[in-house]
């Protein structure tokens, strides 16, 4: 029996809900703190890097240095400790920390050399630069909006990687492939693929394409929400952001 | 995955909110509406190859109460088989856990979008009677709507009228009349319900409803019908204040319809104002009584809501028997002329 024709199909075994890495970076246990910090960097480094490039009009080398130095400084000085979810979103708080850090660095003319005494994080700046080149940045005046959009992009890209990995582990590669063709490549294709085309391409009945897509979308949503939960500062912020992302959909 | 364009991000946000129709007989076509409780989608019923409207609950944190409402709405509509009430074909739970019900796809315009000036007063009254018929039918089955307003009324291409959105309807006990305020809906159905909000829409809501009184009954629907009549006569709601229970239009603050349009007949204005009486006792006791007064007006008979003067009565008589009076006058004139000419 093909379980995917059952109502919803069998659910993938996803990891338990991530606790907020924002809160975990203040954990007294160094191992937890370090892991949380790594997750936080993974979620925010690209938005931070692009934001520095756009807001501060820096060269890519300077932006790379600032990004590396900012996260190294954050880890060393525990600058996220004063974050108060009652006062602002974590994203807003982080952005103001970045602004303060870059402003100080420029004022002191102490351009930080990459790797100068600090751990160098393995961040793919070339990819971020390539993205910036294809992005329509002209007319971007709302930097808060820009930073948020980059954060959403980073969140969704990470979620897509997670989904790919989890589908592969669960033996559901085709589910992911169909999702990729229809929902990721589809909006960029003219005309977008139809269910019938995908059914022919993958040798499935149309109803199965519907079921596979529904399954992948459901799991994608779950992964996005897992990641979102990890990168927001409080339950309220998580609910607000998830509502903003998905139009009021319950996490 | 290294890169997702803005276009793809927008698509992903949107699709996530779309209901998951896998495992159902429905195929998504497009979203056609959004309400407080849920969204309405145009879908194709694959089994019968027809298009339907699928109302799907918005997945929100207060889900338990809202789900109960949607379930109840489907149950209520299913009980009300009337040409003026949109029929429900199916109800259930989607794969994503959201509740849905499939109903007839209503094509047409909402009453508030309908160009009221494009039709004559008798035509508008005819339409109003159809709205009243549907509401009277519901009342006869122990159900009051509680959110009657032009936005919840659809006018079909052939003039058919459908009363929509029974999501906040109140279901009364089996042996209770609609004017009896006890109900069998439990705490969900008090007038102050979801998250402390007041059920209804400012401008069309009876004062007792705006105050959050538990004594909401058929009289509240009659008030709302009066407000719809007001809209049909003047093109606007009786009061358009922000939601403020204290300011929610006691009759004394209402602008009488004739002040907005002098061509509105006095008896019709009186009918409208009687239905809009701030006090429950001042209104019609039943929708049928309200409709009877409208029918009397249309037929040129005396209406209960209007105590007419001798001049009013003469005017009504003249209006009703215009043709007969004209014939009699013509006959009399002819006789006079004949007498005059015979004298010569």
* SS (HEC) of B137-193: HHHHCCEECCCCCHHHEEECCCCCEEECCCCCCEEECCCCCCCCCCECCHHHHCCEC
Share the mean pLDDT of chain A: 78
pLDDT tens for residues B182-214? 444 443 343 334 333 455 667 788 888 887 776
Q: Which residues of B touch A245 (CB under 8 A)?
A: 13, 16
Contact B278, B223 (CB under 8 A): no
Q: Which residues of B touch A149 (CB under 8 A)?
A: 6, 9
Nearest to A232 by CA among A216, A248, A244, A221: A244
Q: Which residues are B109's β-sheet partners?
A: B155
Q: Which residues of A touch B15 (CB under 8 A)?
A: 183, 217
Look at domain B6-104 and name its CATH class.
Answer: alpha beta
Contact B82, B40 (CB under 8 A): no
A164–B1 CB contact, under 8 Å = yes
Furthest C-alpha separation in chain B: 111
C-alpha distance from A235 to closest chain B C-alpha (Å): 13
User: Could you say which of B45, B147, B165, B217 is catalytic?
Assistant: B147
Integer CA distances (angstroms), B179 to B173, B217, B220, B280, in order: 11, 5, 10, 10
B2 → closest Cβ in A157, A239, A246: A157
CA dist B268 and B303 (Å) reads: 9
Quote the pTM value.
Answer: 0.56
Give the number of other CB atoms < 10 A from CB of residue A65: 20
Q: Which residues of B touch A218 (CB under 8 A)?
A: 20, 95-96
In the prediction, which pLDDT does A10 show? 36
Pairing outcome for strands B170-171 and B109-110: unpaired
* Neighbour-count burial for B14-40, b at 16+ CB within 10 Å, e otherwise: ebbbbbbbbbbebebeebeeeeebbbb
Domains B6-104 and B109-306 share a fold: no
Q: How confident is the model at residue B169 (pLDDT cuts 50, 70, 90)?
A: confident
Chain A residues contacting B, CB < 8 Å? 6-8, 124, 127, 130-131, 134, 149, 152-153, 156-157, 160-161, 164, 183-184, 186-188, 210-211, 213-215, 217-218, 220-221, 224, 239, 245-250
- Homologous superfamily of B109-306: Transferase(Phosphotransferase) domain 1 (1.10.510.10)
* Angle between helix B6-17 and helix A235-246 axes, rounded to 10 deg: 100
Predicted confidence (pLDDT) at residue A180 exceeds the cutoff of 90 = yes
Q: What is the DSSP letter of B87?
A: P
Furthest C-alpha separation in chain A: 68
B17 → closest Cβ in A7, A134, A247: A247
Look up B20 and say whether it is catalytic: no
Average pLDDT over residues B297-301: 87
Which position has the higher pLDDT, B216 or A17? B216
A215–B22 CB contact, under 8 Å = yes
Share the mean pLDDT of chain B: 79
CA dist B207 and B212 (Å) reads: 9
Respond yes or no on whether the N-terminal peptide bond of residue B22 is cis (omega within 30° of 0). no
CA dist B294 and B300 (Å) reads: 10
Tokens in use for B225?
A: 């019908």
Residues in chain B: 344
Tokens in use for B326?
A: 């004209």
In whole angstroms, what separates CA B172 from the centre of its chain?
19
**Alpha-carbon radius of gyration of chain A:** 20
In the prediction, which pLDDT does A249 show? 42
C-alpha distance from B93 to closest chain A C-alpha (Å): 11
In the prediction, which pLDDT does B96 show? 64
C-alpha distance from A119 to closest chain B C-alpha (Å): 24
Contact A130, A52 (CB under 8 A): no
Residues 6 or more apart in contact with residue B242 via CB below 8 angstroms? B202
C-alpha distance from B96 to closest chain A C-alpha (Å): 7
Alpha-helical regions (H) of A78-172: 90-107, 125-134, 143-169
CA dist B168 and B66 (Å) reads: 10
Phi and psi dihedrals of B42, rounded to 5?
Answer: -85, 120
CA dist A52 and A59 (Å) reads: 9
Q: Where are the domains of chain B?
A: 6-104, 109-306, 308-344
Q: Which residues of A touch B6 (CB under 8 A)?
A: 149
Which position has the higher pLDDT, A9 or B290? B290
Predicted confidence (pLDDT) at residue B252 exceeds the cutoff of 60 = no
Which of A11-20, B10-19, B334-343 has the highest average model confidence (pLDDT)? Answer: B334-343
Contacting B residues, span 20-79, partner chain A, CB-CB under 8 Å:
20-23, 27, 58-61, 63
pLDDT > 90 in chain A, percent: 14
Q: Which residues of A touch B21 (CB under 8 A)?
A: 210, 214
CA dist B181 and A32 (Å) reads: 59
In the prediction, which pLDDT does B317 show? 77
Alpha-helical regions (H) of chain A: 21-24, 30-55, 60-77, 90-107, 125-134, 143-169, 173-179, 195-202, 206-231, 235-246
A249–B6 CB contact, under 8 Å = no
């Amino acid at each position: 029996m093909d379980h995917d024709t059952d109502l919803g199909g069998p659910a993938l075994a996803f990891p338990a809900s991530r606790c907020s890495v924002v809160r975990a970076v203040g954990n007294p246990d160094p191992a937890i703190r370090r892991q949380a910090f790594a997750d936080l960097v993974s979620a925010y480094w690209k938005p931070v890097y692009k934001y520095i490039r756009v807001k501060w009009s820096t060269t890519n080398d300077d932006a790379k240095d600032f990004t590396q130095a900012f996260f190294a400084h954050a880890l060393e000085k525990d600058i996220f400790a004063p974050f108060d979810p009652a006062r602002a979103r974590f994203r807003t708080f982080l952005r103001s920390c970045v602004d303060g850090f870059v402003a100080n660095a420029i004022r002191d003319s102490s351009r930080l050399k990459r790797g100068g005494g600090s751990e160098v994080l393995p961040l793919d700046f070339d990819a971020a630069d390539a993205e910036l080149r294809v992005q329509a940045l002209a007319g971007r005046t709302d930097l808060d909006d820009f930073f948020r959009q980059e954060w959403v992009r980073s969140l969704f890209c990470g979620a897509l990687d997670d989904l790919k990995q989890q589908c592969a582990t669960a033996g559901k590669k085709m589910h992911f492939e169909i999702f990729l063709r229809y929902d990721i490549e589809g909006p960029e294709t003219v005309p977008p693929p139809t269910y019938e085309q995908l059914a022919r391409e993958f040798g499935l009945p149309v109803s199965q394409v519907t079921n596979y897509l529904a399954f992948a979308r459901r799991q994608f949503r779950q992964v996005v929400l897992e990641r979102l939960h990890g990168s927001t500062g409080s339950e309220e912020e998580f609910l607000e952001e998830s509502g903003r992302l998905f139009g009021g959909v319950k996490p | 995955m290294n890169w997702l364009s803005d276009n793809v991000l927008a698509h992903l946000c949107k699709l996530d909110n779309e209901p998951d129709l896998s495992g159902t007989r429905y195929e998504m076509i497009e979203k056609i509406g959004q309400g407080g409780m849920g969204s309405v989608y145009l879908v194709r019923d694959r089994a019968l190859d027809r298009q339907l409207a699928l109302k799907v609950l918005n997945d929100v944190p207060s889900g338990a109460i809202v789900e109960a409402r949607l379930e109840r709405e489907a149950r209520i509509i299913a009980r009300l088989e009337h040409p003026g009430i949109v029929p429900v074909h199916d109800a259930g739970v989607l794969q994503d856990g959201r509740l849905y019900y499939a109903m007839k796809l209503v094509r047409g315009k909402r009453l508030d979008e309908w160009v009221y000036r494009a039709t004559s007063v008798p035509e508008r009254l005819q339409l109003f009677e159809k709205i009243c018929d549907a509401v009277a039918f519901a009342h006869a089955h122990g159900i009051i709507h509680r959110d009657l307003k032009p936005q919840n009324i659809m006018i079909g291409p052939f003039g058919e009228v459908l009363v929509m959105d029974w999501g906040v309807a109140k279901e009364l006990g089996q042996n209770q009349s609609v004017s009896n305020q006890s109900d069998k809906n439990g705490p969900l159905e008090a007038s102050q319900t979801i998250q402390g909000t007041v059920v209804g829409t400012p401008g069309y809501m009876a004062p007792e409803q705006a105050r959050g009184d538990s004594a909401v009954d058929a009289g509240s629907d009659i008030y709302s019908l009066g407000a719809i009549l007001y809209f049909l006569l003047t093109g606007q709601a009786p009061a358009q204040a922000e939601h403020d229970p204290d300011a929610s239009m006691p009759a004394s603050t209402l602008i009488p319809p004739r002040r907005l349009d002098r061509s509105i007949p006095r008896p019709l204005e009186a009918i409208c104002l009687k239905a809009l009486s701030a006090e429950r006792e001042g209104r019609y006791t039943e929708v049928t009584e309200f409709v009877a007064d409208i029918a009397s007006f249309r037929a040129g008979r005396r209406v209960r809501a209007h105590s007419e003067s001798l001049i009013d009565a003469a005017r009504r008589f003249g209006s009703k028997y215009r043709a007969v009076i004209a014939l009699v006058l013509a006959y009399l004139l002819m006789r006079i002329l004949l007498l005059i000419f015979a004298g010569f």
